[in-house]
A = this chain, B = another copy of it.
Amino acid sequence: MAPPQGRKKSQGRRKIEMKLIADENARTVTFSKRRAGLFKKATELSILCGAQVALIIFSIGGRAYSFGHPNVESVVGRFFNRNPMPNPQDSVHMRFHAAMLQQLKEQCDQKVEEVEAKKKRGKEIETALENSPYQISDERLSMLDINQLKRLKDMMEKLRENVRRLVNGPTVNSVEPPPNPMNVAAVPPIQKDVDLANVEREKREASPIPADWLKL
């Protein structure tokens, strides 16, 4: 109704520098508004994305404001499980928390160690199998005489024993290294004077079984 005036009621929002607001009054107002806005955003994030959120604000004046979804304690607790407080505030409770935390963390770490040990042992077993006498080719297998077969069998039994020991293995925290599943190699090398009397072979070789024949 009124004739338009050259002067607007408000200049609207203006850009502001990102530094501490000097004017204490303006700062207080901004704090109130932005704090409300921040809480709203935090709420929205937790609702829209199902996230857990903890937000704690202290005004310059020392007043505390907080928001938490589902609540501040659980989120903060969860957080400090991963990032233990370097320097717990000097409250008995905080110290208690820290102590408890550390103790439990140690337990967890131990479990992790156990898992790692098991994994490692699994890997070793696999390696053992990779390098085992199973690798013998048809060709070579066909050339074995009865005594060589017996030796092979002995080796296999030793291997089995070693693998079994590996499986039942050393205690997790043991200092000594796990037994080498392939220390089967320690078995005396196949002798030259093997008795070939009772076995025919398709082709007879001049040399006996080489030391590395079985990939031991």
Contact = CB atoms under 8 A, between A and B. Distances in A.
Contact of A47 (B19, B89, B107): B19
A99 B134 CA distance: 53
A163 interface: yes
Q: Report the copy number of this chain in the oligomer.
A: 2
A134 B118 contact: no
A53 B176 CA distance: 36
A102 B77 CA distance: 9
Interface string A65-89: 0100001111111111111011111
Interface of A: 16, 18-21, 27, 30-31, 34-35, 37-38, 41-42, 44-45, 47-60, 64, 66, 71-83, 85-89, 91-105, 107-108, 111-112, 114-115, 118-119, 121-123, 125-126, 129, 132, 134, 136, 138, 141-142, 144, 146, 149-150, 153, 156-157, 159-160, 163-164, 167-169, 198-200, 202
A164 to B, nearest CB: 6
Contacts of A85: 73, 76-77
Given A30-B48, A150-B141, A99 B87 contact: no
A170 B186 CA distance: 34
Contacts of A86: 73
Interface of A is mostly: helix
Contacts of A30: 48-49
Given A100-B80, A104-B81, A136-B153, A87 B60 contact: no
Contact of A97 (B54, B66, B72, B93): B93
Contacts of A149: 141-142, 144, 149
